[in-house]
């Protein structure tokens, strides 16, 4: 498998930095959204309170996933700085450029990702 060239790496680094900003903003927005769910007991009925709580739970779980992705993006940037970017964490093969362009924070090759997904 061909290693990534400098132009590829530069493109991917740019994409990762974009993702970092984008996800970072989403995280700070959602932290405000989960704060707002402290409810006014006098105007909100029991049903809509439960609705709001459900929505809050969903927001928390989405936030967890977003946070995880943010950590992966940061880990990818660290790996890039250490010249270790683009290799599968599991089998050490280089991850194809096409996959990295679609998902620059990927840490597994498609085969290992498939295996990991199947074990879940």
Q: Which stretch binds Zn ion (CB under 5 A): 16-24, 45-53, 60-68, 104-112?
A: 104-112
Q: Which residues does 105 contact at the CB level (< 8 Å), separation at least 6?
A: 16, 19, 69, 72, 73, 75, 76
Determine, following the binding rule CB under 5 A, whether residue 58 of this chain makes contact with Zn ion: no
Q: Which residues does 117 contact at the CB level (< 8 Å), separation at least 6?
A: none
Considering the complex, state which of residue 14 and residue 111 has its C-beta at the smaller distance from Zn ion: 111
Distance CA 115, CA 60 (A): 28
Considering the complex, state which of residue 4 and residue 88 has its C-beta at the smaller distance from Zn ion: 88
Considering the complex, state which of residue 10 and residue 114 has its C-beta at the smaller distance from Zn ion: 114
Answer yes or no: are the C-beta atoms of 95 and 86 closer than 8 Å.
Answer: yes
Determine, following the binding rule CB under 5 A, whether residue 112 of this chain makes contact with Zn ion: yes
Distance CA 100, CA 109 (A): 9
Determine, following the binding rule CB under 5 A, whether residue 91 of this chain makes contact with Zn ion: yes
Determine, following the binding rule CB under 5 A, whether residue 109 of this chain makes contact with Zn ion: yes
Considering the complex, state which of residue 77 and residue 88 has its C-beta at the smaller distance from Zn ion: 88
Question: Residue numbers of the site for Zn ion (CB under 5 A)?
Answer: 88, 90-91, 109, 112
């Amino acid at each position: 498998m061909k290693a990534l060239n400098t132009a590829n790496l530069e493109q991917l680094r740019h994409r990762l930095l974009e993702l970092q900003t984008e996800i970072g903003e989403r995280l700070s927005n959602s932290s405000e959204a989960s704060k707002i769910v402290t409810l006014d007991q006098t105007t909100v009925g029991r049903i809509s309170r439960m609705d709001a709580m459900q929505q809050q739970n969903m927001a928390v779980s989405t936030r967890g996933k977003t946070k995880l992705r943010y950590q992966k993006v940061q880990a990818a940037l660290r790996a890039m700085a250490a010249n270790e970017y683009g290799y599968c964490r599991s089998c050490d093969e280089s991850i194809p450029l096409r996959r990295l362009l679609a998902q620059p924070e990927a840490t597994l090759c498609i085969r290992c990702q498939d295996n990991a997904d199947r074990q879940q």
